[in-house]
Amino acid sequence: MISCDQKKKCAEKIRERLGLKKIPQIKIIERPFGKLKNCKRYKLEEPKEIVESAEYYRNENYFNRSVTDFREEYYQLSRDTDDSKPFDICLIEAKVTLGTITTSAGFNWIIIGNLRDGTKYCAIICIYVRELFRECGISTLLKLREIQLAGENGCSFIQTYHRKDNPDFVAAIVPGLRNDFFLYHGKATGGEQYEEYGFVHLRRYFDNEKHYSKVTTEGEPRTLVSPDQNDTIIDLLRKTERKFPGRIIKKIETCVGR
């Protein structure tokens, strides 16, 4: 649940960053996708009362590829998915009101599906924050709503990933590490690519099991445990002098139970 204090802190950072006299208003909304008749495509509903919505700073028809993008990015999940059941797709959007203008500060594009064993999951297709609003806490607000929606929809877990060769890797991964996600390495039988191929995956479970991973990082002799030592992992990522901080994550071994 997003608290009023979390929104207030984010709004204050935006006010300071933009040199505003008044604190802007922030609202996190959900924009659903409707399934088109006689085909497997989903279309994002039109925005309401907003200037420069998420579509403004994406390529035309960018959001019409929900299922295709999911299948290209999550090979194993896609392979294990029960295709007889429809997906639930949603764009979580952060709206910021600056005076008389309301604009989009960023979005979190999620897809909820069902595995063949009956497990329900949430996968993140893309999360993006406009440069104007970065380092103000928008990504954290989007992440918190993502967690809440996944729980409300009965998901067993959330999965997301980040490319190591992303110069903004730290800003992208920290909201997850701060909110009980752990670094994840699953089966590779479906073609899923993990840290050895330049992709760092994370998961957050909603069950009572103890899920964790043993993480090997560059420049740290100890094996770190995620999520228990996520703060240490964050510190290592922030301190590295590498242009692409994600490259210091070398090996992730996923475990269940103690």
Residues 256, 179 within the same domain:
yes
Please tell me whether residue 78 adopts helix, strand or coil conformation.
Answer: helix
The number of folded domains in the chain is 2
Residues 126, 188 within the same domain:
no
The pLDDT tens digits along the chain (258 residues) read 788 899 999 999 999 999 999 999 999 999 999 888 766 789 998 888 899 999 998 888 899 999 999 999 999 999 999 999 999 999 999 999 998 999 999 999 999 999 999 999 999 999 999 999 999 999 999 999 999 999 999 999 999 999 999 999 999 999 999 999 999 999 876 678 899 999 999 999 999 889 999 999 998 999 999 999 999 999 999 999 999 999 999 999 999 876
Residues 151, 172 within the same domain:
no
Q: What is the pTM for the complete model shown?
A: 0.93
> Whole-angstrom Cα distance, residue 252 to residue 184?
6
**pLDDT of 37:** 73
Q: Which of 128, 155, 182 is the last residue of a domain?
A: 155
The residue range of the domain holding 38 is 1-155
